[in-house]
Homo-oligomer: A and B are copies of this chain.
C-alpha cells in the first residue's frame, strides 16, 4: 500500500478563553499504510469527523487533547485524532458499524455519541412520563434535536430553543406536527438578549403556563436561571452541557438555585460514557424510527479537513444548524 499523505488538524497550544481558527494548524504528514505490527494497533481511514461542543473543554490546560472522529475500516466508529488516517490502540473502544443502509455520517450523530447522549440523558436521567412538559435548549444541535423528538414520541409536550448571542437568532419549535425538527421556527433578531428574553416572555407566559417538568440543559448561564423560576414541583433538570459557559474564565452566576428546594427539583449531570453499554438497545430503538420516518436528523456537513477549524469554532457562534459534521473522505 505504501506511504500516503496524512493531513491533520492540530491544536497549537492550550486555550484559556475564546478559541479561534488560528489556534489550530493544518499540517501534512505522511503515513505508511501497512498493517500495524503487533496486536495493539488498528489502522483507520477516517471518513467523517464530528464537531461537538464538549471538545472545547478538552482544550483547556490540564486535560489531554483528543479529537473525536467517526472512523471507517470495517466500518467502525470511535475516537481518533483529527486526521485522514489514524493508528489507534486496539484497547480503545471502537464500535463496529452493522447498518450501512443509513448515511455513514449518522455515526457521528444520531447513531453515535450524541445519539446515546440524548437517549440516556432523556430516558435514564430525565425519567419522562407521558404528558410531561419538556423544554430543550440548544434544540437544533446534535443532541437537542433528538431529545425533542424522543420527548414527543413519548407523549410529552415539547418546546425547544436555539440561538446565538452574536446574531440574536432565536428559534422555538413546538410540537404541532409529527416531527419536532420539522417545526423549528426561526425568529430572526428578537429585540432582547436571548437569555433575558427567555426568562419572562417566552418560557412562562407563552409556552409553559403550567411550568416545566423536564429541562434538558445544554447551555447553562442565564437560560438555566430563567428555567429555575419556571420549573414545576418534582421537576428534573438533566444537565447534559453548558455551552454558554465553556469559553469563559469567569462563568455567569446562577442565582435562582433556592428554587430547587421549594419545587423539589432534581438537577443531575451525566456523562455519556457511563451509558455506552446501552448502545445496542438504543440502536434497536432508533433505527426503526429512522426507517419509518418517525425521527428526522438534521446535519450540517462541511467538506474537507482543512475546513474543520472553522466548523468547530462556528459551534460557539451558533453558525451551524443541526449536527456539525466534517466530511474528510467519501470512501
Contact size range, A: 20 to 34
Asked whether A329 is an interface residue with its Cβ less than 8 Å from the other chain, the reply is: no
CB proximity of A141 to chain B, nearest CB, Å = 15
Asked whether A255 is an interface residue with its Cβ less than 8 Å from the other chain, the reply is: yes
Bound CA span A253–B241, Å: 18
Q: Which residues of B contact A254 (CB under 8 A)?
A: 253-255, 257
- Check B261 against A251 for contact (C-beta < 8 Å): no
Question: A261-294: contact bitstring with B at CB < 8 Å (1 yes, 0 no)?
Answer: 1111111111100100000000000000000000
Q: Which residues of B contact A253 (CB under 8 A)?
A: 252-255
Asked whether A250 is an interface residue with its Cβ less than 8 Å from the other chain, the reply is: yes
- Check B265 against A269 for contact (C-beta < 8 Å): yes
Bound CA span A245–B240, Å: 27
Q: A253-B254, A267-B267, A267-B268 are in contact. Are A261 and B274 (CB under 8 A)?
A: no
Contact of A240 among B252, B255, B261, B268 (CB under 8 A): B261
Asked whether A224 is an interface residue with its Cβ less than 8 Å from the other chain, the reply is: yes
- Please tell me how many copies of the chain the complex holds: 2
CB proximity of A294 to chain B, nearest CB, Å = 29
Asked whether A260 is an interface residue with its Cβ less than 8 Å from the other chain, the reply is: yes
- Nearest to A274 among chain B residues (CB) is B264
- Check A258 against B251 for contact (C-beta < 8 Å): yes
Contact of A263 among B241, B250, B252, B269 (CB under 8 A): B269
Contact of A252 among B252, B255, B262 (CB under 8 A): B255
Q: Which residues of B contact A220 (CB under 8 A)?
A: 257-258
Q: Which residues of B contact A264 (CB under 8 A)?
A: 268-271, 274
Q: A residues within 8 Å of B by Cβ? A: 220, 224, 239-242, 245-246, 250-271, 274
Q: List 9 A-B contacts (CB under 8 A).
A: A239-B257, A240-B261, A245-B258, A250-B255, A251-B256, A253-B253, A265-B269, A266-B267, A266-B268
Beyond the given pairs A260-B269, A267-B267, 14 more chain A to chain B contacts, judged by CB atoms under 8 angstroms and listed by A's residue number, are A220-B257, A224-B257, A239-B260, A239-B261, A250-B255, A251-B255, A251-B256, A260-B267, A261-B269, A262-B269, A264-B268, A265-B268, A266-B269, A268-B268
